[in-house]
Amino acid sequence: MERRKPLSPSDFIKYVAKPIAQKEMDIWVKANNINVEKTKLFFDFIYSLSSIMQDTYLGKDSIVTEEDILGHFNWCWNKNLENFTKENIIFNNEGEHKDYLWNFFEEAFYRDDMNKSVKKIEIHLSKLFKLYIEKTKSELDMLRDIYLVLEKSLIIDNSK
């Protein structure tokens, strides 16, 4: 990762809180080679994973240890990959994308209050991946990072 110069307090506030104009976002999408269809696919992938996790989570009474949590996540991860593979959309099983999403869900899903976290995750993902919703520069950086990680993990089968 490239090292950026430190932001002033006012620039930092703008970076994390001030939405950018739609025209600037359109330029950002083109400059970062963001494919709208892939963005929709990656949203579906993460949202599906989140849905499987929510539907199969038995609660903190049943999923207690770190091993239980990781086991649940891995089962959901594999189920999600299997579902996408049935649609001929294949992602690598292991890699930076899995690590990234494990870290995200470990913090946002397993460690937070379930009733609050599920809604927060849905809102966050919808805002992040839908390009017609205004975003801050911070959110665009996050979108680019997730997009690139998932794009690297997507296996393109050119034989069909």
Q: 116: pLDDT confidence band, cut at 50, 70 and 90?
A: low
With respect to residue 148, please indicate whether it lies within any of the assigned structural domains.
Answer: yes
The H or E element that residue 155 is part of is: strand 154-155
With respect to residue 105, please indicate whether it lies within any of the assigned structural domains.
Answer: yes
With respect to residue 129, please indicate whether it lies within any of the assigned structural domains.
Answer: yes
With respect to residue 140, please indicate whether it lies within any of the assigned structural domains.
Answer: yes
Structure-token pair, residue 118: 């599920």
With respect to residue 91, please indicate whether it lies within any of the assigned structural domains.
Answer: yes
Question: What is the value of pTM for the model shown?
Answer: 0.84
With respect to residue 68, please indicate whether it lies within any of the assigned structural domains.
Answer: yes
Neighbours of 147 (CB within 10 A): 19
Q: Which three-class secondary structure state does DSSP give residue 91?
A: strand
With respect to residue 31, please indicate whether it lies within any of the assigned structural domains.
Answer: no
With respect to residue 90, please indicate whether it lies within any of the assigned structural domains.
Answer: yes
Residue-number span of the structural domain to which 62 is assigned:
57-160
Per-residue pLDDT tens over the stretch 16-58:
778 788 899 899 999 999 999 999 999 999 999 999 998 998 8
The domain total for the chain is 1
